[in-house]
């Protein structure tokens, strides 16, 4: 009853106007296009102008913010791309959000009351979830821009950490390289002495190994006391590596001493054997030197890539999460309220559609929908009637044709029966004549056959 009264009031509102409104102003017309309404019908309902202009404005500004957000985000993804790339992407992203919001608002179910019913809520629930998701997606790039100074500070800290790790690994590898080079130099001197027949090269290996062991023990002591390469006090990875080197040198020194006792200084075979051994050691140290050089290049490459990675969009999101964590309450709340603001901007048109009461435009639109539905139903009924008439006519035609065929078949059967009866009569008459001729020619046969049958 209330709905019919509203429809009557809307018609009364139109009838009271002197003539139909042809134009409602550029701003209203543009915002109505954004809202996706029937402008020709809405022009005749002045009381609904502001309502749908506000809906269109919300959809428009959400799309503008989405375009800015998308363009800003893509500028970090393709940092070396021309300026028009983020501009075009932002425009496409904004138009997509514009169309999606416009679709959600215009396809929402509403019962025309100012309260939200269960049917309205569950009908709009998927759209509310999508609106929340869009609000988060749109707000994140803008949050990065708002907290840009804090994010840059955090990225500098992260880059410093990466640089320290790379520098520590780099220094450790260069120390290993220097140790290997020293070993190669020592082995080359020994090889020169051996080739010259000087046995001091063999005997001096023990002294060289003792000196090498003392140096390694000093480096281990400095490393555990915080005066080594890493400048970190304690028994860390570098100290473990140095301890392994010290143990290895102790074993080599013990082997050399045992070897020196067992070999004669004038044994040329021993000199030849040691020459081959020293050459093999030099080859092994050269192989280790090559591996260390490759590791140095790998560490330098990883450091460069790590520094470059900290300038991308994902790194900025990670930095934003670090600075706006629960530990930093002020920035956490600021980011939370910014996200809630954009979520509210996305959700409000959907909730507004559920809560707004029907106005003259809604009633006119409902009447127009009813009129079109009635016309469609009538058209469907006409089509059904036409098909039914065609079926009836076809059925009657088939019935008439069948009756005609049955009648024709009946006449044919009658004629056929008459012809068969006539033929039988003729056949019987001919048979009778033949039998008479037989009786006349030989009556005794007929008499005997008749007597036998009797």
| Domain ranges across the chain | 2-147+324-358, 165-312, 365-453
pLDDT of amino acid 16: 47
Cα–chain center distance at 90:
19
Residue 233, beta-bridge partner list: 225
User: Which residue in 293, 275, 314, 313 sits closest to 181, CA to CA?
Assistant: 293
Q: Which pLDDT score is estimated for 312?
A: 63
DSSP of 321-356, one letter per residue? Answer: HHHTSTTSHHHHHHHHHHHHHHHHHHHHHHHHHHHP
Contact of 319 with 313, CB cutoff 8 Å: no
Predicted structure pTM score = 0.48
Q: How far is CA 314 from CA 230, 318, 319, in A?
A: 31, 6, 9
SS3 225: strand
Instruction: Provide φ and ψ at 226, rounded to 5°.
Output: 85, 10
What integer pLDDT is reported at residue 219 of this predicted model?
A: 78
pLDDT of residue 234: 66
User: What is the block-wise mean pLDDT of the chain (454 residues), using blocks of 10 residues?
Assistant: 49 52 82 85 83 85 84 75 83 88 76 70 78 80 78 71 65 75 78 60 66 78 70 70 80 76 58 75 80 75 62 72 77 83 78 73 79 87 86 83 80 82 82 78 68 58
DSSP state at residue 48: G
Per-residue b or e along 175-204, where b marks 16 or more CB atoms closer than 10 Å to that residue's CB = bbbebbeebbebbeebbebbeeeebebbee
């Amino acid at each position: 009853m209330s709905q019919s009264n509203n429809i009557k009031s809307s018609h009364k509102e139109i009838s009271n106007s002197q003539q139909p409104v042809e134009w409602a102003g550029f701003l209203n017309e543009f915002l109505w296009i954004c809202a996706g309404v029937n402008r020709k019908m809405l022009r005749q309902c002045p009381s609904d102008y502001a309502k749908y202009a506000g809906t269109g404005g919300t959809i428009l500004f959400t799309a503008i913010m989405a375009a800015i957000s998308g363009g800003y985000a893509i500028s970090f993804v393709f940092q070396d791309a021309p300026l028009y790339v983020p501009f075009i992407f932002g425009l496409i992203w904004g138009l997509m959000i514009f169309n999606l919001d416009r679709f959600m608002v215009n396809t929402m179910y509403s019962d025309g009351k100012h309260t939200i019913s269960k049917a309205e809520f569950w009908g709009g629930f998927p759209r509310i979830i999508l609106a929340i998701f869009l609000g988060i997606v749109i707000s994140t790039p803008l949050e990065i821009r708002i907290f840009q100074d804090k994010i840059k500070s955090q990225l500098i800290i992260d880059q410093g950490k990466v640089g320290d790790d790379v520098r520590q690994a780099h220094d450790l590898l260069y120390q290993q390289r220097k140790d290997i080079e020293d070993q190669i130099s020592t082995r080359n001197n020994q090889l020169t002495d051996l080739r010259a027949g000087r046995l001091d090269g063999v005997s001096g290996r023990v002294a060289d190994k003792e000196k090498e062991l003392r140096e390694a023990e000093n480096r281990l002591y400095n490393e555990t006391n915080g005066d080594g390469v890493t400048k970190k006090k304690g028994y860390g990875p570098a100290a473990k590596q140095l301890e392994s080197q010290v143990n290895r040198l102790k074993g080599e020194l013990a082997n050399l001493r045992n070897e020196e006792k067992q070999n004669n200084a004038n044994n040329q075979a021993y000199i030849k054997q040691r020459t081959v051994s020293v050459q093999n050691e030099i080859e092994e140290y050269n192989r280790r030197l090559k591996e260390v050089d490759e590791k140095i290049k790998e560490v330098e490459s990883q450091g460069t890539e790590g520094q470059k990675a900290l300038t991308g969009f994902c790194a900025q999101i990670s930095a934003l999460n670090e600075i706006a964590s629960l530990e930093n309450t002020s920035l956490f709340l600021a980011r939370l309220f910014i996200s809630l603001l954009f979520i509210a901007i996305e959700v409000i048109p959907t909730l507004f559609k559920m809560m707004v009461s029907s106005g003259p435009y809604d009633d006119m639109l409902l009447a127009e929908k009813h009129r079109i539905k009635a016309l469609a139903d009538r058209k469907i009924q006409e089509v059904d009637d036409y098909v039914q008439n065609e079926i009836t006519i076809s059925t009657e035609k088939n019935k008439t044709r069948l009756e005609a065929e049955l009648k024709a078949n009946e006449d044919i059967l009658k004629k056929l029966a008459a012809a068969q009866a006539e033929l039988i009569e003729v056949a019987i008459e001919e048979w009778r004549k033949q039998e008479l001729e037989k009786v006349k020619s030989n009556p005794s046969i007929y008499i005997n056959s008749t007597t036998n049958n009797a």
